Structure 1
Amino acid sequence: MNSAVKTYKGYEIHPLVYPRRPADGQTSRNPDAGYDASVRICRVGANPAADGRVFRLQYLFPFDGTGKARIACMAHAEQLIDGRVDGQSVADL
């Protein structure tokens, strides 16, 4: 699945959405279990795998669809870039 890459204030935002794992740790493909999400942020033109950083979205409940998870990734990344998330920063990227 291709993820949509967005640029914001000189950073690339790569949403990472994946099926939620059950508490027992078994891998499953049950879309009813929901989705978890993280976001990889790097400078525009940098190698995301080498020069980026992954931030996990902390939600108590899984997202019920990949679209909602991607939207949350983009919003969270913009807040990180703007410096509005306590304890997380992209200033050193």
Structure 2
Amino acid sequence: MSMHIYHGFEIYPLVYPRSQRKEGSGHNYEDGFDAAVKICLRGTDATSTHSDTFKLNEERPFASAGAARLASLKYGEAIIDQRGGREWTPGAAQ
């Protein structure tokens, strides 16, 4: 899983096939991809102190995993910006 640092937060894009895998067959990547983002704030001892996961609410699937990953990163950055940047604590009462 790749990670991106933004304003001191770790952003993890979560990308997965839109269609569920049917028993006995592989994933159907032709149906596109959905995405979510996990935002973490680390403590001084490198343990995760707070985190939240947010699903992108896209009506249409992303055509590629790369497009879903990029949208996930941008969505994570927007969430951090909207919630006060460095002053926000994921997982804390809003």
Q: What TM-score comes out, normalization by structure 1 length?
A: 0.76
Q: In the TM superposition, what are the counterparts of 1:6-85 in structure 2 within 5 Å?
A: 6-21=4-19, 26-28=20-22, 29-44=27-42, 45-47=46-48, 51-83=50-82
Q: What is the percent sequence identity of the aligned residues?
A: 38
Distance 1:82 1:51 in 2: 17
Counterpart of 2:21 in structure 1: which amino acid? T
Structure 1: which 5+ residue stretches go unaligned?
Answer: 85-89
> Mind listing any 5+ residue stretches in structure 2 that lack a counterpart?
none
| Higher-Rg member (1/2) | 2
The number of residue pairs the alignment matches comes to 80
* Structure 2 match to 1:92: 89
Structure showing the higher strand proportion among its residues:
2
TM-score, length-normalised on structure 2? Answer: 0.75
CA RMSD between the two structures:
2.0
